[in-house]
């Protein structure tokens, strides 16, 4: 039986296009799984169990230092993060004292993302020494490029109404933030125009549009990880698909 959370019902719209698009706008996809702090993971050497489990698919191993600066000069601390990168450097698994994350810049579809997440969880289960995650988050950062068309025509008018009908010209910044929350999780939508460098000075600069969605659940048992990831993806996609207008959907299916 699939696990459920109150936060599953925060987005009431549903999409008939779940995992049907042939293309995507994704610039980055990240899954972060937080767990009760384990100080040993902050040491300079990564757990050998994890190295052995991941080394064939993630042969590049790095050590990163994260610095925390408190109110006083003497309140500075450093934590180590162990980073495993795939052979093509397009997939990354990292683990630190309180979090495991899986990240990609070459998202090809949810089945692959799901498989990579579950593989990382399986490899880390013994290392993190817990039977639950304090938080699981799935984040999709989409950059929508509409070519020569105004990018606002590719976005749900409910998000860009001010730009469509407002008495404004030469808008250099436009952004919005919508946070839905329940006692056991939530969903965050951040969106707005994004200008990029224009190599051709004679042509006008047309902005792209960012749709950044982070769906999360709190206190998830490891046994329910798979179910939680599926629910997060379904919710994030429904919100993403709602944020689009028909020209964007047509592009994704062509």
pLDDT one-digit tens code per residue, 160-191: 999 988 788 888 899 999 999 999 999 999 99
User: Which residue intervals of 85-133 are DSSP H helices?
Assistant: 110-128
Give the start-to-end residue ranges of the domains of the chain. Answer: 1-28+138-254, 37-129
Residues in the chain: 254
Dist CA 150 CA 29 (whole Å): 26
- Distance of alpha carbon 248 from the chain centroid: 20
Express each pLDDT in 44-98 by its tens digit.
899 999 999 999 999 999 999 865 555 555 545 567 899 999 999 999 999 999 9
Express each pLDDT in 144-162 by its tens digit.
998 888 999 999 999 999 9
The answer to whether 32 and 137 have CB atoms below 8 angstroms apart is yes
First to last CA, the chain: 36
The answer to whether 99 and 216 have CB atoms below 8 angstroms apart is no
Residue 150 CB: number of other CB atoms within 10 A?
A: 14
């Amino acid at each position: 039986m699939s696990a459920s959370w109150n936060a599953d019902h925060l987005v009431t719209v549903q999409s008939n296009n779940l995992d049907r698009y042939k293309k995507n706008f994704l610039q980055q996809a990240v899954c972060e799984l937080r767990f009760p702090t384990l100080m040993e993971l902050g040491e300079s050497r990564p757990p050998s169990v994890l190295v052995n489990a991941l080394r064939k698919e993630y042969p590049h191993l790095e050590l990163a230092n994260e610095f925390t600066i408190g109110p006083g000069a003497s309140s500075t601390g450093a934590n180590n993060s162990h980073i495993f990168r795939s052979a093509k450097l397009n997939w990354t698994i990292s683990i630190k004292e309180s979090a495991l994350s899986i990240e990609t810049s070459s998202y090809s579809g949810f089945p692959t993302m799901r498989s990579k997440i579950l593989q990382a969880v399986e490899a880390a289960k013994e290392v993190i020494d817990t039977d639950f995650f304090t938080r699981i988050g799935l984040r999709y950062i989409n950059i929508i490029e509409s070519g020569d068309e105004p990018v606002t025509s590719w976005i749900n008018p409910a998000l860009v109404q001010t730009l469509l009908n407002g008495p404004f010209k030469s808008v250099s910044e436009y952004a919005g933030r919508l946070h839905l929350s329940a006692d056991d999780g939530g969903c965050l939508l951040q969106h707005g125009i994004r200008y990029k460098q224009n190599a051709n000075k004679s042509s006008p600069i047309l902005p792209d549009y960012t749709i950044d969605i982070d769906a999360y659940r709190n206190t998830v048992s490891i046994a329910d990880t798979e179910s939680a990831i599926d629910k997060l993806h379904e919710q994030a996609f429904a919100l993403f698909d709602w944020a689009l207008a028909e020209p964007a959907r047509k592009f994704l299916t062509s």
